[in-house]
Structure 1
Amino acid sequence: MGIQDLIEGKKQWRAHLARVKALPPDYRIVYAELQRYLFKVGPVSLTEGNLLAELVDFFEEGVAAGKGVLELTGKDVAAFADNLIKDTPTYADQYQDASGGKSEA
């Protein structure tokens, strides 16, 4: 990854954050919680794909349609987040696979 890639990535991230900031407050709160959850769970494709951008697209469409954020996600936002990544491997899955599926409890 070259310096130009880093600069371009930073520009894209700032543009993404500007779109998030333009959302109504309730949407921003739910987006922030979803983002925090996704960063914590760590779907492998999060850094490669457009999941967060697609989420903002989805939210912008909801705003344009005059819907509240919970009309889009449902009242169980955690279930919505889990559904977003249900078929996506996570870093936790990779770690578990690498350790032979053993848990240290």
Structure 2
Amino acid sequence: MNFWETITGSDLTEEWKAFEARAAALPADYRAAWGEIKGHLVPYSDFTGRNLMPILDGVLGLLEEAAADGQSTREVLGDDIAGFCAAVAGGEGAPSFRDRWREQLNKNVARKLGRLGD
């Protein structure tokens, strides 16, 4: 990845189009699940979304394999797609917005308490 791709995100656009092309080849119920998964993973994204690309690639690969094996989406993902996404993103170490806000709040409180003690 060169500087221009980093700044413009053009590498992400190409990768995203490749994901969508792969997802278009899935059966309808898997495409619907893919749409839900993307929506539930957005809170785990960093500013650019680069941290989600390996996660999305892995999940899409799982959906492709399961569809090829003839499994239902419920067998693969369970009943709780949001929980599945939280487990996948958490397993990869992707912090959510809530985690980032909690960390910032803790830093601010610690800083204020440190000043009060002086």
TM-score when scaled to structure 2? 0.71
Deviates more, 1:56-65 or 1:75-84: 75-84
For 1:94, the equivalent position in structure 2 comes to: 100
Provide the alpha-carbon RMSD of the alignment.
2.3
2:63 to 49, 59, 65: 59
CA separation in 2, counterparts of 1:51 and 1:8?
16
1:43 Cα shift?
Answer: 4.5
C-alpha deviation, 1:98, in angstroms? 0.7
The structure richer in helix per residue is 2
One-letter code of the match for 1:2?
A: F
Q: How does 1:14-25 map to 2 (within 5 A)?
A: 14-25=17-28
The SS at the match of 1:23 is coil
Structure 1: stretches of 5+ with no match in the other structure: none
Conserved 8 A contact 1:30-1:69:
yes
Q: Write the letter of the residue equivalent to 1:42.
A: Y
> Which structure has the larger Rg?
2
Question: Partner amino acid for 1:94?
Answer: R
Q: SS where residue 106 of structure 2 aligns?
A: coil
Deviations 1:36-87 (A, max 9, x none): 0110x2254x522500011000000001101111110112222222221234
Q: In structure 2, list runs of 5 or more residues that go unmatched.
A: 109-118
Match of 2:4 in 1: 3
How far, CA to CA, are the matches of 1:11 and 1:43 in structure 2?
18
Corresponding position: 1:28 with 2:34: no
- Judged with a 3 Å threshold, the aligned counterparts in structure 2 of structure 1 residues 37 and 101 are, in CA distance, closer, same or farther, namely farther
Contact kept in structure 1, 2:55 and 2:89, CA below 8 Å: no
Alignment size in residue pairs: 100
What secondary structure is seen at the aligned counterpart in 1 of 2:31?
helix
Please list every run of at least 4 consecutive aligned residues from structure 1 whose deviation after the TM superposition is greater than 4 angstroms.
none
